Structure 1
Amino acid sequence: MDRKLLELENAELKRQRRIDLIQAEQNETLLNQFFEVELELLACNRLCELVDILLNKFRDTFRLSSVTLFLFDPEHIAADLLSELGHQERKRVYFQPDLRLLRQLHPHEQLAFGEVDNDIRKIVFPDHPYILSAARMPLVRQNCLIGCLNLGSQDIARYTADIRYTYLSHLMSVIAVCIENCMTREHLHRISIIDMLTSVHNRRAFDKEILREVARANRVGEPLSCLFIDIDHFKKINDVYGHQTGDRVLRTLGKLLKGTLRKTDFVARYGGEEFSILLPSCAEEQAMMVAENLRTQLAKEILRSVEGAPFRITASIGCASYQPLMTLSQKDHQQHAHVLLRTADEALYQAKHAGRNRTQSKPLPAAN
Structure 2
Amino acid sequence: MDRANVNARRQAQSLENLRVENHALRTQLDDILELAHRNQSILARHQSFELKIIGASHFKELISYIFSELANTSDLDIVTLALVDPRQDLQQMLNDLRIDLQEFPGLLFVRHEHELQTKALLSYKPLLGKYQSHLYGNLYRSCAKKPASVAVIPLVRQNRLIGYLNLGSFCAERFLTTMATDFIERLGSIIAICLENVLNNERLVYIGLTDPLTNVSNRRYVEQRTLEEIARARRQSYGIACMYLDIDFFKKINDEHGHQGGDDVLCEVAKRIKAELRLSDTLGRFGGEEFVVLLINANLQDAMLVAERIRRSIAGKPFTLSDKGHCSTTISIGLTTVSEKHNLGEATAVAREMISRADRALYDAKRSGRNQVRCE
What TM-score, normalized by structure 2, do the two folds share?
0.68
Q: Decide whether the 8 Å contact of 2:285 with 2:291 is kept in 1.
A: yes
Distance 2:281 2:66 in 1: 30
Aligned-pair distance for 1:62?
Answer: 5.3
Q: Does 1:18 align with 2:30?
A: yes
What is the 5 A alignment of 1:121-160? 122-125=122-125, 154-156=175-177, 158-159=179-180
Q: Which runs of 5+ in 2 are unaligned?
A: 1-12, 96-100, 114-118, 132-148, 168-173
Let me know the Cα RMSD of the aligned residues: 4.5
Q: What letter matches 2:286 in structure 1?
A: Y
Quickly say closer, same or farther: Cα 1:23–1:195, change in 2 above 3 A: same
What is the 5 A alignment of 1:18-97? 18-38=30-50, 40-42=52-54, 44-47=56-59, 50=62, 54=66, 58=70, 61=74, 63=76, 89-91=108-110
Quickly say closer, same or farther: Cα 1:337–1:62, change in 2 above 3 A: same
Q: Decide whether the 8 Å contact of 2:334 with 2:358 is kept in 1.
A: yes
Q: Which runs of 5+ in 1 are unaligned?
A: 95-118, 363-368
Q: Does 1:314 align with 2:330?
A: yes
Aligned to 1:358: 372
SS of 2:270's equivalent?
helix
After superposing the two structures, state which structure 1 stretch, 272-281 or 215-224, moved more.
215-224
Distance 2:337 2:181 in 1: 65
Aligned to 1:275: 291
Q: Decide whether the 8 Å contact of 1:316 with 1:352 is kept in 2.
A: yes
Aligned to 1:335: 349
Aligned residues: 327
Aligned to 1:103: none
SS of 1:316's equivalent?
strand
After superposing the two structures, state which structure 1 stretch, 3-12 or 297-306, moved more.
3-12
After superposing the two structures, state which structure 1 stretch, 16-25 or 147-156, moved more.
147-156
Aligned to 2:250: 234
Q: Which has more radius of gyration?
A: 2
Quickly say closer, same or farther: Cα 1:55–1:313, change in 2 above 3 A: farther
Q: Decide whether the 8 Å contact of 1:55 with 1:89 is kept in 2.
A: no
Q: Decide whether the 8 Å contact of 2:125 with 2:153 is kept in 1.
A: no
Aligned-pair distance for 1:319?
Answer: 1.1
Aligned-pair distance for 1:173?
Answer: 8.5
1:78-137: per-residue Cα shift (whole Å, max 9, x none)? 78757868797435997xxxxxxxxxxxxxxxxxxxxxxxx9975115987879999989
After superposing the two structures, state which structure 1 stretch, 192-201 or 210-219, moved more.
210-219
Aligned-pair distance for 1:65?
Answer: 10
Q: What letter matches 1:11 in structure 2?
A: H
Distance 1:267 1:21 in 2: 61
Aligned-pair distance for 1:276?
Answer: 0.2
SS of 1:226's equivalent?
strand
Q: Does 1:264 align with 2:280?
A: yes
Distance 1:67 1:263 in 2: 22
1:289-320: per-residue Cα shift (whole Å, max 9, x none)? 32112101222233211133343321010112
Quickly say closer, same or farther: Cα 1:15–1:67, change in 2 above 3 A: farther
Aligned-pair distance for 1:63?
Answer: 4.7
Q: Decide whether the 8 Å contact of 2:81 with 2:106 is kept in 1.
A: no
Q: What letter matches 2:36 in structure 1?
A: A
Q: Decide whether the 8 Å contact of 2:308 with 2:373 is kept in 1.
A: yes
What is the 5 A alignment of 1:182-201? 182-201=198-217
Aligned-pair distance for 1:232?
Answer: 1.3
Aligned-pair distance for 1:228?
Answer: 0.6
Quickly say closer, same or farther: Cα 1:234–1:30, change in 2 above 3 A: same
Aligned-pair distance for 1:241?
Answer: 2.7
1:263-310: per-residue Cα shift (whole Å, max 9, x none)? 332211111111101123333343223211210122223321113334
Aligned-pair distance for 1:348?
Answer: 0.9
Q: Decide whether the 8 Å contact of 1:59 with 1:67 is kept in 2.
A: no
Aligned to 2:300: 284
Q: What letter matches 1:298 in structure 2?
A: I
Distance 2:48 2:230 in 1: 41
Aligned-pair distance for 1:216?
Answer: 3.6
Q: Decide whether the 8 Å contact of 1:231 with 1:274 is kept in 2.
A: yes
Q: Decide whether the 8 Å contact of 2:216 with 2:284 is kept in 1.
A: yes
Aligned-pair distance for 1:64?
Answer: 9.8
SS of 2:279's equivalent?
coil
Q: Decide whether the 8 Å contact of 1:46 with 1:186 is kept in 2.
A: yes
Aligned to 2:226: 210
SS of 1:297's equivalent?
helix
Q: What letter matches 2:243 in structure 1?
A: L
Tell me the percent identity: 29
Distance 1:282 1:67 in 2: 32
Aligned to 1:349: 363
What TM-score, normalized by structure 1, do the two folds share?
0.69
Distance 2:352 2:274 in 1: 24
Aligned-pair distance for 1:202?
Answer: 0.7
SS of 1:357's equivalent?
coil
Aligned to 1:252: 268
